[in-house]
Amino acid sequence: MHILRFDTKIAWVQGIASWWRDRLHLHPSLRICLPSGNTPTPIYAAMAQSVARGEASFRGTDLFALDEYGGLAPSDPGLCVNMLRKDLIDHIDIPANRFHWIDTQAPDVDRVCRDYDAAIGAGFDLTILGIGLNGHLGLNEPGSVPESETRRVEMHPASISASAQYLTHSNTPKWGVAVGMRRLLESREVWLLASGATKAEIIQRTAEGEIGVSVPASLLRYHPNCSLIVDGEAGSRL
Ligand code: PGA
C-alpha cells in the first residue's frame, strides 16, 4: 500500500482530481468503481468542473456504484445511486447506459447481485473507495472475507448509525448490497481515500495494524497497486 499524504484538504482534492484526469486521458474507456458518501463529494465536484472546462471526459468510461442500501424508497436522496447522480453523474458526459447501479428494489436481490457481477465482467481498472469508521469498504463490513462476492449484507450497527447522516428521516437501512471484496482486490488499481480527523484512527489501524477481516480496509495491503491517499488530518497518526 503506497501512502500519499497532502497537507491540506484542498491539495488532497486537487491532487486526486489531477491523477483522475490523467488516467482518463491515458485510458478513455476506464471501468471505474465509485463510492458515494461525503469523502468523494469535493473530488466529484472537481471532476464535474473539469468536464465543464473540457479538461476531462467520461464518454467512454463505465462507472459502477460500489454499494447500495436496501429498504429505502427509489427517490430517497440517501440511496447511493441518488447521491452519485447528484454529486457526479448529472454533471458529466457519461452516456446513461454506462452508469451501473444496484437495484435493491428488485424482487430478487440475489439475481441483481449476479447480474451486477456479470456487468462488471473482466473487472475494474480503477476502484475508488472511502472508508467507514469501522474499517468497512462500501458495505463490506467487518468479517468480510477477501473472497466475498457481490452480495446482500446485513449492516453493522456502526454503519446503520452512520447512514443517518445521508437521510432526511430516521428510517435507517438495515441491509444493503456490496460489490464483494474479491472484485475490489482484483481491481487493477485501488485508491483508498480519507480526509478529516475523524478518520485518523481507522486509517492508522488500516495502514499499520494487523491485517485481517476485522478491518476489511486492511486487506488492501495485499493489493499490489493500492494507494492510501489522505489529507493531513486523516493521516495524522501515521
Ligand atoms: P463517508 O463514508 O465518505 O461519508 O465518510 C465512508 C463510508 O462509510 O464508507
pLDDT digits (tens, 9 = 90+) for 11-26: 999 999 999 999 999 9
150 vs 144: CA distance, rounded Å: 11
Mean pLDDT of 200-225: 98
**In the structure, what pLDDT confidence band is assigned to residue 208 with cuts at 50, 70 and 90?**
very high
Q: Note the pLDDT of residue 91.
A: 98
Q: Note the pLDDT of residue 167.
A: 97
Q: Is the CB of 162 under 6 A from ligand 1?
A: yes
**In the structure, what pLDDT confidence band is assigned to residue 96 with cuts at 50, 70 and 90?**
very high
What's the predicted TM-score (pTM) here? 0.97
Candidates 12, 13, 36, 38: which one to mutate for ligand 1, based on the most atoms within 8 Å of Cβ? 38
Short-list 38, 76, 63, 67, CA closest to 156: 67
Q: Note the pLDDT of residue 44.
A: 98
Q: Note the pLDDT of residue 34.
A: 98
The residues annotated with a catalytic role in the active site are 67, 134, 136, 141
Q: Is the CB of 206 under 6 A from ligand 1?
A: no
**In the structure, what pLDDT confidence band is assigned to residue 169 with cuts at 50, 70 and 90?**
very high
Q: Note the pLDDT of residue 115.
A: 97
227 vs 229: CA distance, rounded Å: 6
Please give the C-alpha separations between residue 65 and each of 68, 69, 128, 212, 220, in angstroms, as whole numbers.
8, 11, 10, 25, 19
Residue closest via CA to ligand 1's atom 7 equals: 132
Task: Name the percent of the chain in helix, strand, coil, to the closest 5.
Answer: 40, 20, 40
Distance 25 CA to ligand 1 centre (A): 28
Q: Tell which atom from ligand 1 comes closest to the C-alpha of 37.
A: 4
28 SS3 class? coil
Mean pLDDT of 32-61: 98
Sheet holding 31-34, edge to edge: 2-6, 226-231, 189-194, 126-129, 31-34, 62-65, 99-100
Q: Is the CB of 238 under 6 A from ligand 1?
A: no
In sequence order, the 6+-apart residues with CB closer than 8 A to the CB of 59 are 28, 93, 94, 95
Q: Note the pLDDT of residue 100.
A: 98
Residue closest via CA to ligand 1's atom 8 equals: 132
Q: Is the CB of 41 under 6 A from ligand 1?
A: no
Q: Note the pLDDT of residue 76.
A: 97
Give, for 238, the enclosing helix (H) or strand (E).
none
User: Exposure of 16 by Cβ count < 10 A (0-12 exposed, 13-18 middle, 19+ buried)?
Assistant: buried
Q: Note the pLDDT of residue 153.
A: 97
Q: Note the pLDDT of residue 196.
A: 98
**In the structure, what pLDDT confidence band is assigned to residue 118 with cuts at 50, 70 and 90?**
very high
Residue keyed to cell 493500492: 226
Mean pLDDT of 62-83: 98
